[in-house]
Amino acid sequence: MKAKGTSGVQFSIIISILVTILLMMLLLLFATRHLLDSGFEFIEDVHASKPSDWLQLPPIFNYTQKYLELIAQNGSKPCHNIATKKVQLFGFPDFKEGDTYVKINTGEIHTLLLVAFDDLDQKRCAGGDYFETEISGSNWKSRAPVFDLQDGSYKILLQMHPSFAGVYRFRVILGFSNFHGLHRRPQQWFRNETVVDMHIEFVNEEHDSSGVIHLPRLNQCTKEDFQLDSWLGRWVSFGHNPSCSVDKRGRFRCLDAKARCSDPWCRGPIAALESNGWVYSAHCAFRIFTQDDAWRCLNKKWIFFWGDSNHVDTIRNFLNFVLGFENILEVSRRFDATYYRHPSQYVRITSMFNGHSNTSQNHEGLYSLHDDAYRERIAEFFREGTAPDAIIMNSGLHDGVYWKHLYQFVEGADKAVEFWTSLLNGLQGSKPRVVYRTTITTAGWARAASFNPHKMEIFNNIIVEKLKKANLLWGVVDGFDLTYPWHFDHNCSDGVHYGKPPAAVQWYGQLGHQYFVDLMLVHILMHALCVS
């Protein structure tokens, strides 16, 4: 009874038979339990919330402790040992005769319940499965957040903006079961089973007198907006040029350079993203910078990067695409350089790779800080007369390989937070603006790897929680949510890099590759650095 097939017809018949019986049973069960005791916050009773709110993830609260406890308990009950064999999805309205697709309203937040069953058709009694989700159409791509209720069922929330009414593909893929994504070498446990694949029609239904449901206007991101722990955004596309292809230099210059962003999804020259119209927004919208805007904001500033090879790509793309240094073909993993536009216009960039304490090696992540010489190299920069204006931090991919168990990663994260706390608290003058950029959602083959999305999502939340608790962060930029909609194939990534330099060469069976996801990140970081 696996729900699959794109017609939706078969699927809907199954629902109409089972929904009354099972949903009633489940609802009864839920009513007698305190769901929040499960250790995972989720937005309670979404139907009762004002329908015109944007869907958001709840703040991270007590995350590390709860997760450590969950993993410590994993294996202690017989039901931890049972694998999910199939799932059933509840919560869509009845399928009406004459409709081609399941129809639901735009604007509202829809709650679905995904229930996991074992091979004897028994409902599973433990959580820990990782489901990847996708809502995709020709001009909208996002995830649908999944909340593990720890009893074998999962809550999935869906929302579509009224301007994007239409038919979308909705997929749910079981990545890992039973927390297996957390293993150091999880490949053998990768399930990669599409458990839901259907189409949904989002419709703008007129409500009695009030008309269709509207969502609040997306505003330009402010300082407060970067205080959210994690984001739930979407990629939307406008002005797509169907005849555009890669040029000799590997670039996708598809749109008129004068084309502007569609309000309210971003502001500025959309063509600068080289995305053929795609742009990302979260709970607020971002600014796309012109070269002059970027220089106005960054002139004479010092930006310090601490992170993995994705930072290396981002810095090069930042120099190439935004600051106008088109001839810089690469930057190294560790460097400290000042880039001049004019004698009076310059920006200093320092980069300290943290994939390993030795720049020619990999797979240490936060453990790189165990190395005295490496720590000292970082600390030196903070003993100069003035500190950097901003620090952009990231870690995750290399941690995924290094740490054998979750509790070891937690210890490593504690040590890293201690290190940065002592460094930054020791500063005399003004403190840098510290931005933590969460790790990307790894794509294609890397969905099964040591740095798979299941593990990275947990690592991201743990480190954000710890950095925030230590009061180190000015803000968070959620690279995980940004990259998620593009992580199912290799169109935008080699698995672990979304920002490889443009090149008109073969890329996973096609000519050239998309680099716009990282370019979007560059502009989001610019926005974070430039917002007052």
Ligand X SMILES: *[C@@H]1O[C@H](CO)[C@@H](O)[C@H](O)[C@H]1NC(C)=O
The one-letter code for the residue type at 45 is D
In the set 6, 20, 49, 65, which binds ligand X (CB under 6 A)? 65
Stretch that binds ligand X, among 4-12, 27-35, 58-66, 251-259 (CB under 6 A): 58-66
Place of tokens 């039973």: 178
**Contacting ligand X (CB under 6 A), which of 90, 445, 474, 507?**
445
- By CB under 6 A, name the one of 75, 211, 216, 426 that touches ligand X: 75
- Nearest approach in angstroms of CB 39 to ligand X is 5
361 counts as binding ligand X under rule CB under 6 A: yes
CB of 64 to ligand X, least distance (A): 9
Phi-psi region of 346 (alpha: psi -120 to 50; beta: other; left: phi over 0): beta
CA distance 492 to 507: 10
Answer for which of 447, 466, 487, 500 binds ligand X (CB under 6 A) is: 447
491 near ligand X (CB under 6 A): yes
Amino acid (1-letter code) at residue 522: V
The DSSP output letter for 277 is T
| Neighbouring C-beta atoms of residue 490, cutoff 10 Å | 19
- Pairing relationship of beta strands 166-176 and 286-287 according to DSSP bridges: unpaired
> Cβ neighbours of residue 503 under 8 Å, at least 6 residues apart?
249, 250, 512, 513
Residue whose CB is less far from ligand X, 188 or 210:
188
Binding mask 204-243 for ligand X (x = CB under 6 A): ----------------------------------------
Is residue 160 within 8 A of residue 135, CB to CB? The reply is yes
Contact between residue 365 and residue 354 where contact means Cβ atoms under 8 Å apart? yes
Rounded least distance, CB 250 to ligand X, Å: 16
List the one residue from 10, 74, 111, 345 that touches ligand X (CB under 6 A): 74
245: tokens are 């292809």
Q: Which two tokens stand for residue 11?
A: 């699927």
Q: Is 392 in the site for ligand X (CB under 6 A)?
A: no
- Which positions from 177 through 196 interact with ligand X, judged by CB under 6 A? 178-180, 182-183, 192
* Of 110 and 487, CB closest to ligand X: 487
Binding segment for ligand X (CB under 6 A), chosen from 259-267, 316-324, 339-347, 444-452, is 444-452
115 binds ligand X (CB under 6 A): no
Q: How far is the CB of 516 from ligand X (least distance, A)?
A: 12
Q: Report helix, strand or coil for 112.
A: strand
Q: Is 81 in the site for ligand X (CB under 6 A)?
A: yes
Nearer to ligand X, 70 or 531 (CB): 70
406-425 and 372-381 helices cross at what angle (nearest 10)?
A: 40
Of positions 6, 20, 52, 62, contacts ligand X by CB under 6 A: 62
- Establish if 451 lies at the interface with ligand X (CB under 6 A): no
Asked whether the CA dihedral 109, 110, 111, 115 is positive or negative, the reply is negative
The span from the first CA to the last CA of the chain, in angstroms, equals 54
Q: Does 363 bind ligand X (CB under 6 A)?
A: no
**224: burial class by Cβ within 10 Å (0-12, 13-18, 19+)?**
exposed
CA distances for 46 relative to 55, 81, 126, 171, 341, angstroms: 9, 32, 23, 22, 51
Give the residue with the Cβ less far from ligand X, 219 or 510: 510
Site string for ligand X, 321-360 (x = CB under 6 A): -------------------------------------x-x
Residues with Cβ within 8 Å of residue 27, at least 6 apart in sequence? none
Residue with tokens 């943290």: 354
CB of 62 to ligand X, least distance (A): 4
Site size toward ligand X (CB under 6 A) is 24
User: Are residues 34 and 40 in contact, defined by beta-carbon separation less than 8 angstroms?
Assistant: no
Give the interface with ligand X as residue ranges (CB under 6 A): 39, 62, 65-66, 69, 74-75, 80-81, 178-180, 182-183, 192, 358, 360-361, 445, 447-448, 489, 491, 510
